[in-house]
Amino acid sequence: MGNAADDWEEHARKWIEWARTPDLDSYWRYRDAFFDFLPPPGKSTLDIACGEGRLSRDLAERGHQVTGFDVSPTLIEAAREAHPGGEYLVADAGDLPFEDGSFDLVVAYCALMDIDDMAGAVREATRVLTPEGRLAISVVHPANTGVKTEDGAFVVGDTYFEGTYQREVVERDGVPMVFAGYTHPLTKYTDAFEASGLLIEAVREPKAVHRDGSVSPYPWHLWLRVIKG
């Protein structure tokens, strides 16, 4: 098993370039629809594993009072430089330095599958939520974490329920990146919600649009919005 925190710090500079190159990844094509999926801005919003801060910056532009954190010091330094008026700190998702009930919205965009203790992160997110606060997540769709074959199809292997740790080397438009994280079955996420007393409010499987405008026959992401009971 790997260590996602170390892997993301090691490749932080690559991620900064990747994340800040418009249209290089699907964020730019999902962004507006994902913001429509979120509740309107409230008292305070927490961005889990904010990385170099692109989601936090976009949330702030839409009226959210955002605090972003990440385990990577390099990424947090980049977030602060890009958004001097923002609130960014180095923190562990499984041991947050916030009071109970500090946020009415917690967002984890393509983050939970890259956190070493995913269930612990959900538990801590729940703790810092206000009563009836919401956690909104986007993860790589569990149906899209199998073995990629030569014809582009994905085949679910015999490790689906156990999950695996993966590192994938990708280069796009001359920009290299190493993606590291875990494959989780859907029930691992829902078990974490159930254990933390969270109720599923909404589920989306957004259609994946390629850079050329064509639509993928399978979903890339899964969006879940859960509420603290």
- Mean pLDDT computed over 88-110: 98
The tokens describing 111, both together, are 């983050």
Q: Bigger pLDDT: 64 or 209?
A: 64
How far is it, in rounded angstroms, from Cα 38 to Cα 225? 8
Q: Which of 227, 23, 17, 54 is nearest to 137 (CA)?
A: 227
Given this model, what pLDDT does residue 186 score? 95
Helix ranges, the chain (H):
4-10, 12-19, 27-37, 54-61, 73-82, 118-128, 186-195
How far is it, in rounded angstroms, from Cα 32 to Cα 47? 17
pLDDT bin (cut points 50, 70, 90) of residue 216 is confident
Paired with 154 in beta bridges are 148
How far is it, in rounded angstroms, from Cα 199 to Cα 158? 29
Q: How many residues does the chain have?
A: 229
36, 42 contact by CB (below 8 A): no
Instruction: Count helices and strands (H / E) in the chain.
Output: 7, 11
Q: SS3 of 195, please?
A: helix
When the pLDDT of each residue in the chain is averaged and rounded to a whole number, the result is 93
pLDDT bin (cut points 50, 70, 90) of residue 162 is confident
Cα of 121 vs its chain's centroid, Å: 12
pLDDT digits (tens, 9 = 90+) for 20-63: 999 999 999 999 999 999 999 999 999 999 999 999 999 999 99
Radius of gyration of the chain, Cα coordinates, nearest whole angstrom? 17
Check pLDDT > 60 for residue 142. yes
How far is it, in rounded angstroms, from Cα 219 to Cα 166? 19
Q: SS3 of 113, please?
A: helix
The tokens describing 153, both together, are 């199809």
Q: Bigger pLDDT: 227 or 155?
A: 227
**Above pLDDT 90, what percent of the chain?**
83
